[in-house]
Amino acid sequence: FLPSQLSLLYKWLNSFPFLFLSGAGYHSESKAKEYKHVCKRACQRAVDRLKAGAFAVEAVAAALVELEDSPFTNAGMGSNLNLSGEIECDASIMDGKSLHYGAVGAISGIKNPVLVANRLLNEAQKGKLSAGRIPPCFLVGQGAHDWAVTHGIPPCPSEKMATKFSLSAYKRNKRKMELAEKMDTGHNQTKKRRQSSENENGSGCLDTVGAIVVDQEGNVAAAVSSGGLAMKHPGRVGQAAHYGCGCWAENACNMNPYSTAVSTSGSPFLASEDRVLGGVIVLRCCRCVEAQPSQDIQGALVEFLWSHTTESMCVGYMSAQDSKAKTHISRLPPGAVPGQSLAIEGGVCRLMSIVE
């Protein structure tokens, strides 16, 4: 990796709940406003839930729903199509307070996969099923779809989830694959296929989305959602759904004073590739109480950062005190090679509230 680009932002905030979200991939200058607007809407939706008294895990799910509904992201609506021309999505969510986790993989016909993951998490928190059965926390394929429908999550035809952009990308990718198969055989064909796959699954198709949240009580939560690689094999489950890989959230405990939430895009299993494309957002907070002459001030010191090897990464963050979210498109330095260069940016803030 090239030397990282590091910058820190210091800010004082007056209210405790805090949200941070991102999408790693490629974000053209012509669509920068649209990407930022999507992030702002997601931040606002989650913070509204926090202000209404929702816990972190509910707020992080609300943010992901907004991001999945956007046709500009590779999650939910407008996701990449697989080899069969179908949309299959992965998503996961984790509650730092209970350490419960929910995930779905290669799920089709559901507009918001994160809602299924969140429902799995909620159902698991209720305890065992009849006859002492253990409730599922990770479902895939048709089983995930059927479980979602029986638990009140409405289905959505796969063709309605495709957009003009995702359909045109699929047709373009398919033509390139067919051409490569006709031109070469044996080892050369395999090499061509891999090169074509690398080009088509470059930073322009990898806009996985994620969010991390800390609420008024200091609970943290994380979630991630992805349509996966373009032209992936049907049934493939990406890292967004894997436990401890797509996202992680864990509250502070006696042995550890820090609460931590992480959401990732990309995978360590890509280590053998020439270009390792991915991104990560991280939040770490520590509670503190400061005595003042007339009142006690309770708060948290929050550190947050984002890093990516993709060409760009759109991020947004907001606290309950902010009137609107702050957004930023982080880009690799001029001349840097995506997949071989690393950008890191972040900030530190103190979130305060009065102890009554």
pLDDT digits (tens, 9 = 90+) for 292-305: 544 555 678 889 99
Residue 259, token pair as written in the block: 């609460």
Residue 53, token pair as written in the block: 């008294």
Task: Give the CA count within 13 Å in the CB-facing half-sphere of 181.
Answer: 7
Catalytic: which of 73, 163, 190, 208?
Answer: 208
pLDDT of residue 347: 86
pLDDT of residue 289: 56
Q: Is 324 a residue whose pLDDT tops 50?
A: yes
Banded pLDDT at 199 (limits 50, 70, 90): very low
* Contact call for residues 299 and 236 (beta carbons, < 8 A): no
Q: Quickly list DSSP for 47-74.
A: HHHHHTT--HHHHHHHHHHHHHT-TTSS
pLDDT digits (tens, 9 = 90+) for 155-183: 999 889 999 999 999 999 999 998 988 88
In a 3-state reduction of DSSP, which class is residue 217?
Answer: coil
Banded pLDDT at 200 (limits 50, 70, 90): very low
155/282 Cα distance (integer angstroms): 32
pLDDT of residue 339: 86
Largest CA distance in the chain: 79
Mean pLDDT in residue range 84-111: 97
256/197 Cα distance (integer angstroms): 43
208 carries an active-site annotation: yes
Average pLDDT score over the chain:
84
Q: Is 278 a residue whose pLDDT tops 90?
A: no
Banded pLDDT at 10 (limits 50, 70, 90): very low
Length of the chain counted residue by residue: 356
Share above pLDDT 70 across residues of the chain, in percent, rounded to a whole number? 78
- For residue 77, with 0-12 CB atoms within 10 Å meaning exposed, 13-18 middle and 19 or more buried, which class applies? buried
Q: Is 212 a residue whose pLDDT tops 50?
A: yes
pLDDT digits (tens, 9 = 90+) for 54-90: 999 999 999 999 999 999 899 999 999 999 999 999 9
Note the pTM of the prediction, 2 decimals: 0.87
pLDDT of residue 255: 87
* Contact call for residues 103 and 224 (beta carbons, < 8 A): no
Q: Is 131 a residue whose pLDDT tops 60?
A: yes
218/210 Cα distance (integer angstroms): 19
Banded pLDDT at 224 (limits 50, 70, 90): very high
pLDDT digits (tens, 9 = 90+) for 40-61: 999 999 999 999 999 999 999 9
Strand partners, 138: 103
